[in-house]
Amino acid sequence: MTADSVGGVWTYALDLAQELAAGGLRVTLAVLGPSPQDDQTAAARAIPGLELIDTGLPLDWMAEDPAAIRRGAEALGALARRLEVDLVHLNSPALAADAGFTVPVVGVCHSCLATWWATLRGGPLPGDFLWRIEVLARGYRACDALAAPSAAFAQATAAAYGLPQPVVVRNGRRPPGGEPCGRERFVFTAGRLWDDGKNIATLDAAAALLKVPVVAAGSLEGPGGNRRTLRHAAALGRLDTASVAAWLARAPVFASAALYEPFGLTVLEAAQAGCALVLSDIATFRELWDGAALFVEPRDSAALAAAIRHLLDDPRKAGRLGEAARLKAGRYGMESMASGMRSLYRSVLERHTPTPSRKEAVA
């Protein structure tokens, strides 16, 4: 299985790897892009049966040119052959096209430049995007099966690339242990704050209209050097999983004004913690959280501030909404995600001639 340490794919990959390894599979996690942070490495090393390999290979969306992706794909194909795996799970499906894999390949569509651009910018694509999207399109077509974490994103991916709709396997997280702490009076958000798709600028503007702290966890600087500045919200920087959970246990309200969000793992974590959700009214959030969140127009900072203020001023309503979110979050557990992926693995393995001496493994 491939992963990167930059965003939510790391959390997804580590959780899934833990479930698969606990079920008896041999799992190798091949890290692409920047090396994991110390806490990320420690979390991976703590999973019994998981082999972690920091490949040093580039991420497709950070590669300098198509040749760099091709070299990375070839190296990953060689690694899979050396490890004698039975199936490859690519969280970077662009690598499928040139890897020369000799076993089935399952790709997961977590996000992509084509759908990101269509959502945030529209109009003609910049030249640097065109070749990246073409490489990804070839990778998608080379996979034996594709999965997406929400129906909304599956539909967007199919439309953007002219593909059959990927199988929907919704992401999952384990609920936090223990009881929530006493709720304090502040607003919390978390994510890749440097990414325009997260639209932290609208929440930052809303913070200027509120008389309570708005606290944001996550990196303000992206791997490509792009940087965000917060004028009104308090920036905590990147936090480890335990620290985010501690903030969520105290926060009465979690807010996200995201414009582009294929799923939103941090929203799920907030819901599991019983936070009241105030979310942008986009297709993914409606699909996942309708009836368990307040929705606002994603670029309307005044409406966002009003919705947050309404919940902070009415703790009972915030509590009811938080409980509704917690109950709905029960649909998005680790068991259902792992079961969905295992079913997809089986379907592609069954289409290939089985070898009696081989034991199923995932890399």
State residue 355's pLDDT score: 52
All residues at 6 or more sequence positions from 20 whose CB lies less than 8 Å from its CB, including other chains: 27, 338, 341, 342, 362
Per-residue model confidence as pLDDT tens digits over 224-274: 778 899 999 999 999 998 999 999 999 999 999 999 999 999 999 999 999
Per-residue model confidence as pLDDT tens digits over 320-354: 999 999 999 999 999 999 999 999 999 999 988 65
State residue 95's pLDDT score: 94
Parallel/antiparallel/unpaired status of strands 187-190 and 105-108: unpaired
Closest CA relative to residue 229, chosen from 211, 213, 205: 205
Kindly give the residue spans of alpha helices, DSSP state H, lying in the chain. Answer: 8-22, 38-45, 66-83, 113-120, 127-142, 151-161, 200-207, 241-250, 265-272, 283-289, 301-312, 315-329, 334-350
Closest CA relative to residue 189, chosen from 115, 121, 280: 280
